Amino acid sequence: MSEVVFIGTSDAFGAGGRRQSAVFVRGERGGMLLDCGATTNTGLAQLAIARDEIDVILVSHFHGDHFGGIPGFLYAALYADRRRHPLEIVGPPEIEQRVRSLANAMGHQLGNREWTFPIRFREIRPDEAVDAGPASLRAFATAHQLEAHPQGYQVRLGRESIAYSGDTGWFDALPRAVAGSGLFICECTLECAGLDFHLSLEELREHRDDLDCGRLILTHLGDAMVPLRGQIEFETADDGLAVKL
């Protein structure tokens, strides 16, 4: 049986004092992170999840609240954990260049030190399928700022499947992209529709019947969504929420 633990569930701005996007998926054959926001090391420590459990970091797009934690993760894996086993970083085109540039800007250069573990980068494009660590992945394009190379994923672990929206506005192909998933982790930044690059409760209500998924859990909650938890018909994630698949 696989398990999903929400490490961070806020929007980009830390709404409600929550951590930024990261979801830990523990499968029978290893572990992976769906996104790695800047607060991920803090969240893993608080939830007693060892970085060593993570074989793959899967990145949805190049915004800091989704991949800004990778340089710190790598440094901690090297200096705090003395990690020995490989880490695979999978994401949209340019994943390696973007992570290296970010690490340089943060003073955490990747190139000028002895790594105790291999770091492997792998690109995945919309409609492509890739096996990584414990999972089979399929990417789909989403409606978010294009310069961030946004995409969502279907993650298959044995017979279980998780769909993850990353950041996106509503688009008509979304139901098809997540169809059949046992768990759909869907962003819901806003209460009312108004942006074409983030989803709202209003739009999800309008389209709920179009979504053919098992359990639906909303995350990436903004200021207006945080106080609505527990008062709406949708399940919402809090930091630390653990879900068995």
Strands (E), 60-188: 87-91, 119-123, 129-132, 135-141, 151-157, 160-164, 183-187
CB of 117 to Zn ion, least distance (A): 28
Helix and strand counts by DSSP (H, E) for the chain:
6, 14
Answer for the pair 189, 168: CB distance below 8 angstroms, yes or no: no
Minimum CB separation from Zn ion for residue 69, in Å? Answer: 12
- Applying CB under 5 A, the site for Zn ion has a residue count of 4
Rounded to a whole number of angstroms, the minimum distance from the CB of residue 61 to Zn ion is 6
Check if the beta carbon of residue 67 is closer than 8 Å to that of residue 89.
no
* Residue 239: CA count within 13 A, CB half-sphere: 23
Q: Is 137 in the site for Zn ion (CB under 5 A)?
A: no
Taking contact as CB under 5 A, which single stretch among the options 1-9, 86-94, 151-159, 160-168 is the one that binds Zn ion?
Answer: 160-168
Q: Which residues pair with 143 in a beta bridge?
A: 169
Instruction: Using the minimum distance from each CB to Zn ion, give the nearer residue, 55 or 167.
Output: 167
For the CB of residue 64, give the shortest distance to Zn ion in the complex, in Å: 9
153 Cβ neighbours under 8 A, 6+ residues apart: 34, 58, 60, 137, 138, 139, 140, 163, 164, 166
> Closest approach of Cβ 134 to Zn ion, in Å?
24
Residues within window 2-21 making contact with Zn ion, judged by CB under 5 A: 12
In the shown chain, the binding pattern of residues 161 to 190 toward Zn ion, with x for contact by CB under 5 A and - for none, equals ------x-----------------------
Contact at 8 Å (CB) between 33 and 58?
A: yes
Interface of this chain with Zn ion, residues 20 to 79, rule: CB under 5 A: 63, 65
Q: Is 128 helix (H, G, I), strand (E, B) or coil?
A: coil
Which ranges constitute the DSSP H helices of 19-130?
Answer: 40-46, 64-67, 70-79, 95-105
Task: Give me the catalytic one of 11, 35, 55, 65.
Answer: 65
Q: Is 65 a catalytic residue?
A: yes
Kindly report the backbone phi and psi dihedral angles of residue 34, in degrees, each rounded to the nearest multiple of 5, phi listed first: -95, 105
For Zn ion, the closer of residues 167 and 191 by Cβ is: 167
**Which active-site residues does the annotation give?**
65
Contact residues: Zn ion, CB under 5 A = 12, 63, 65, 167
